[in-house]
Structure 1
């Protein structure tokens, strides 16, 4: 069998290359791309601003924030929650007033029906007309207008009922309730490379482990010691700290909860620290 060129259209087989080419040109199929280093957030950057933290704090789940940015976020969320609670209270008041109005109208309707049953119909008198009339005051229709173009007679859709808003401020990454008293101050150990001319933010390697002096980065799993706030590598935790469970910085006794794994950097639109692939679902094209 002779070899076919890539763009050959006379072949009886729909090759993988032709399928990929058609998908890229027509937009069919799911597209998947692995994100590079430039698209990933650095491990020492805030999860809100995506910039290096000036006053870093960490949550119990290991998400790093700049304290100023997080306080601004919490205050903004509290204002939003207060506004939603006021709207919810106004909605409840409107519903209560509507229920009272419906009850009042039902009472009037019951009274009207009772009075119409008890009262006898008046006998016809000489000289009175028994024909139909166009007066809308008859039979209690004084409030009903003859024209249906009037806005008060047009049907209306009921307003959307909003559920009671959540009164807790939640972490934008984990979704769990977050409080300022639960935050832990983080102390990074600066790298000592004898380069005083380059600013710290412009350096590719900025911080090291507080115990082993290993360079920290997105590819190096790290943890925060709650007792001292220092950042160490997980390798140091497994080999040194977990032997006697003492903080090597200040000598305090530690537990498993005092070791908080630091979430490594991910892309700015990813939800977790290890999701480095972007995928866009598309229509499937069958051969």
Structure 2
């Protein structure tokens, strides 16, 4: 019961934290996109200014003949074209070298050191998910788990002070962290896994309610941690080797 209340309180708090982190990430992305657009606009303005300043023109003398002025104009245009082509080629070569040098990562220069991008946070879902399977929780699919107390005459406070609190609903074996347990879906009673394997799976019938069971109706419970490192692991080993017979 304490774990159920803790899950109910923890889920809205966790969703609220994830929503705040997602909104903060959206604001950061919006501000970064605005800065990038401003920097791109500034770069376009700088390129436009550099192109305009690279154009070289020679004033035309109005007292010369048209042919001479035309020849001078042609020479001026050719000179301007050659100068603009040379400046553009030098600018392109310098820009390509700058781009190639800036694209190469360097671990010695602080400005060229590659940085890891922050992890993108997905928008949190408003649906409460199961912590074990990850599927959405629905009220009609929830099971009321019924633990059988060792002594029914004890109240909740007296039961919590005892080491052995609950027993199997069928075999009356004491339940604990070291005992694998399962819940029967029709009745909601908690039984040991040994009882399931030896008794219940033979007839596939709920011994408490009498309903017919399927594999889906037997829900294994996740146990808490114990002091044993290999707790919950199948330790049975089978090894087949050739044996010499006499």
Q: TM-score range by the shorter chain?
A: 0.5 to 0.7
Render the CA deviation track for 1:35-61: whole Å, top value 9, x for unaligned: xxxxxxxxxxxxxxxxxx35xxxxxxx
Give the distance between the partners of 1:274 and 1:215, measured in 2 at CA: 17
**1:199 alignment partner, SS class:** helix
**2:44 alignment partner, SS class:** helix
**1:213 alignment partner, SS class:** coil
Out of 17, 39, 64, the position equivalent to 1:102 is: 39
Give the distance between the partners of 1:227 and 1:203, measured in 2 at CA: 29
| RMSD of aligned alpha carbons | 3.7
**Which protein is richer in helix relative to its size?**
2
Identify the residue that residue 134 of structure 2 maps to in structure 1: 177
The question of whether the paired residues in 2 share the 8 Å contact of 1:266 and 1:274 is answered with no
Give the distance between the partners of 1:187 and 1:259, measured in 2 at CA: 14
Give the distance between the partners of 1:80 and 1:95, measured in 2 at CA: 23
> What is the TM-score of this pair, normalised by structure 1?
0.51
Render the CA deviation track for 1:140-177: whole Å, top value 9, x for unaligned: xxxxxxxxxxxxxxx8x9997422224367777x5x53
Identify the residue that residue 203 of structure 1 maps to in structure 2: 162
Give the distance between the partners of 2:156 and 2:6, measured in 1 at CA: 29
**1:260 alignment partner, SS class:** strand
Structure 1 pair 158/78, CA: closer, same or farther in 2 (3 Å)? farther
Higher-Rg structure is: 2
Matches within 5 A, 1:11-30: none
Give the distance between the partners of 1:196 and 1:251, measured in 2 at CA: 29
Matched, 1:165 2:102: no
Give the distance between the partners of 1:73 and 1:197, measured in 2 at CA: 24
Structure 1 pair 116/191, CA: closer, same or farther in 2 (3 Å)? same
Identify the residue that residue 92 of structure 1 maps to in structure 2: 29
CA shift, 1:78, in A, is 0.2
Identify the residue that residue 18 of structure 2 maps to in structure 1: 81
Out of 112, 115, 130, the position equivalent to 2:49 is: 112
**Which protein is richer in strand relative to its size?**
1
**2:169 alignment partner, SS class:** coil
Structure 1 pair 73/159, CA: closer, same or farther in 2 (3 Å)? farther
Mind listing any 5+ residue stretches in structure 2 that lack a counterpart?
60-110, 234-246
Identify the residue that residue 144 of structure 1 maps to in structure 2: none
Matched, 1:237 2:196: yes
Higher RCO, 1 vs 2 (CA within 8 Å, ≥6 residues apart)? 1
